[in-house]
Amino acid sequence: MRNVRVALAQIAPRLGEIEANLAIHLDGAREARRAGADLVVFPELSLTGYLLRDQVPEVALRTGEARLRKLERASRDIDVMAGFVEETADHRYFNAAAYFSRGRLVHVHRKIYLPTYGMFEEGRDFSAGDRLRAFEAPFGRAGMLVCEDCWHPSCAFILAQQGMDVLLAASSGPTRGARPGRGITSVEVWHELVRVTARLQTAFVVYVNRVGYEDGLNFGGGSAAVDPFGRVLATLPVLEPALTVVELDASVLRRARIAYPLLRDDDLELAAREIDRIRRLRYDLPGADSDEPGGPGTA
């Protein structure tokens, strides 16, 4: 990894208005570049807004179409990560994040875990992604996750095992709860999550959450960047659009991995074997053994 300056672009997208949101992205990319950033990161579904429901097919984009090419052109000057609804050739729709660099689309992550509980209904509108891939960015190995993916530790773990140096996490997290003197509870919980993730995977984490209102739902903001020791490098205010630039120092990553050689010591053979055993037991597949002490398959 080499040092990289990342802009956290905490915006309020306009629901269903792709052209207006594209303008916000292009303005944000220019502002970030003027501030010396190498990469600008936008929130989940930043090109469309979140509570789309029956608008999903109307705002969906296929990779390579004209509106995404505007972001490709913008990425000649600064790398861009943005959220959009992706439509595939067989007319499935994904809550996706795209990474643009040097004038081209480099990587797309399709959100894997679609919350369909409480106030969330994503499973009704989107297909679930089924791949986790780290990829080469100009500064090193990067990984992307979208909101609920971050709450499943296996996602960040799998990306880290592929050499991820920086985790880029996009969110549309609503405000939930408040405590006197402590601010918005949901923002505090997200900050705890990204600090723990950074420590456990010894990686930088850049978390960008949106702000604004949709159909009475309020999005909290509170975006943050955290180093591999879990130290907060920058935070953005709650509830307000904002942009800040933070430098991710490669020497800090090196020191963290020397001090905490967790990646070196992870036993992938053990993890793969035990996950396969649990999978076979859970789904009653052939070859399942007992997980009781002294049962079949016990050494």
| Residue-level pLDDT at 118 | 87
pLDDT tens digits for range 204-255 = 999 999 999 998 899 999 999 999 999 999 999 999 999 999 999 999 999 9
Residue 284 and residue 243 share a domain: no
Residue 273 and residue 150 share a domain: no
Burial label for 240, CB within 10 Å (0-12, 13-18, 19+), is exposed
How many DSSP H helices and E strands does the chain contain? 9, 16
Q: Determine the Cα angle at 143 with ends 59 and 24, to 5°.
A: 40
| Residue-level pLDDT at 177 | 64
- If pLDDT is split at 50, 70 and 90, which confidence band does 176 have? confident
Question: 252-259 — which CB contacts under 8 Å span 24+ positions?
Answer: 252/227, 252/228, 253/1, 253/165, 253/202, 253/203, 253/204, 253/227, 253/228, 256/202, 256/227, 256/228, 256/229, 257/202, 257/228
| Residue-level pLDDT at 181 | 59
Residue 215 and residue 286 share a domain: no
Contact 60, 54 (CB under 8 A): no
Total structural domains in the chain?
A: 2
Residue 262 and residue 116 share a domain: yes
Residue 254 and residue 280 share a domain: no
Residue 221 and residue 97 share a domain: yes
Residue 246 and residue 195 share a domain: yes
| Residue-level pLDDT at 186 | 86
Residue 243 and residue 190 share a domain: yes
Residue 215 and residue 79 share a domain: yes
Residue 171 carries which side chain, given as an amino acid letter? S
pLDDT of 109 strictly over 90: yes
Contact 29, 40 (CB under 8 A): yes
Give the whole-angstrom CA distance, residue 164 versus residue 155. Answer: 12
Q: Which residues contact 62 (CB under 8 A, 6 or more apart)?
A: 86, 87, 88, 89
Torsion angle of C-alpha atoms 27, 28, 30, 32, degrees rounded to 10: 160
H or E element at residue 64: none
The tokens describing 293, both together, are 């002490």
Counting residues of the chain whose pLDDT is more than 70, the rounded percentage is 94
Contact 6, 248 (CB under 8 A): yes
pLDDT tens digits for range 112-160 = 999 999 889 999 999 999 999 999 999 999 999 999 999 999 999 999 9
| Residue-level pLDDT at 299 | 42
- Give the global pTM: 0.94
For residue 69, what are the domain limits? 4-266
Residue 290 and residue 217 share a domain: no
**CATH number for the domain including 157?**
3.60.110.10
pLDDT of 185 strictly over 90: no
Residue 94 and residue 83 share a domain: yes
Q: How many Cβ atoms from other residues are within 10 Å of residue 101's Cβ? A: 23
Residue 217 and residue 99 share a domain: yes
Q: Which residues contact 33 (CB under 8 A, 6 or more apart)?
A: 40, 77, 78
Q: Determine the Cα angle at 233 with ends 219 and 8, to 5°.
A: 45
Q: What is the mean pLDDT of residues 12-23?
A: 98
